[in-house]
Chain A
């Protein structure tokens, strides 16, 4: 079983819609959860971090964490074409290394 799983996509949404990205992880000892955005040919950049159950909002982005279900999601409200990128879910396992999922490609259509 892979440690961090994501739908590879592509996920296509119209401009102005809500994009919903999902991630599941296998290790119940996971402590910290991150969403990174990666534009084509560029390196990943941090969008959100979340450490406790519930929602965390930052501008148009909301991260949701449910440790019981081992599930973390990212919602992007009022999606813009500039949000088109690959979104990587990352988890720290046992307080150590960052483990990345395969990423979900998001395409926001004008």
Chain B
């Protein structure tokens, strides 16, 4: 079974530029998550999708971050304009169902450096 795919693995941009990350979850997984992990910290949820609907985006900085999950499969996370504090690893995860007790499967992550 293929795992969660993410791209690009690494991205370096200057502040005020834009960047987009792509995620393809495990086939059949209805729930998709984007987490931001700053060095030395635990992952912080940015947005959660159930199929193609948003379940929780309360911690997403909506003035600069946007995300979509068209057709309930793959997803894109965009940052525009980027700030220095956006330097982090962006982890995509998926799970079979939203209900508690379901394991999260993580992708390898996309490491963003903002100069």
Interface size class of B (residues with CB under 8 A): 20 to 34
Return the contact of A99 from the options B45, B91, B103 (Cβ within 8 A).
Answer: B45
Contact A100/B101 with A43-B106, A43-B107, A43-B108 known, Cβ cut-off 8 Å: no
Interface members, chain A 48-103 (any B CB < 8 Å): 49, 51, 88, 90, 92, 95-103
Question: How far is the CB of A74 from the nearest CB of chain B, in Å?
Answer: 15
Task: Count A-B pairs with CB separation below 8 Å.
Answer: 55
Return the contact of A44 from the options B41, B45, B100, B106 (Cβ within 8 A).
Answer: B106
Main secondary structure of the interface of B (DSSP, over half): loop
Q: How long is the Cα–Cα vector from A46 to B56 in the complex, in angstroms?
A: 23
- Indicate whether B104 reaches chain A with its CB closer than 8 angstroms: yes
Contact A46/B100 with A97-B48, A102-B41 known, Cβ cut-off 8 Å: no
Interface contact A102-B104, CB-CB below 8 Å? no
Q: How long is the Cα–Cα vector from A96 to B104 in the complex, in angstroms?
A: 13
B104: chain A residues within 8 A (beta carbon):
34, 44, 46, 90, 98
Question: How far is the CB of A94 from the nearest CB of chain B, in Å?
Answer: 9
- Indicate whether B55 reaches chain A with its CB closer than 8 angstroms: yes
Q: How long is the Cα–Cα vector from A51 to B102 in the complex, in angstroms?
A: 11
Residue of A nearest to B103 (CB): A46
A32: chain B residues within 8 A (beta carbon):
100-101
- In the complex, besides A43-B107, A100-B35, 10 extra interface pairs with C-beta distance below 8 angstroms are A4-B42, A8-B40, A42-B108, A43-B108, A44-B43, A90-B104, A97-B45, A100-B43, A102-B41, A103-B42
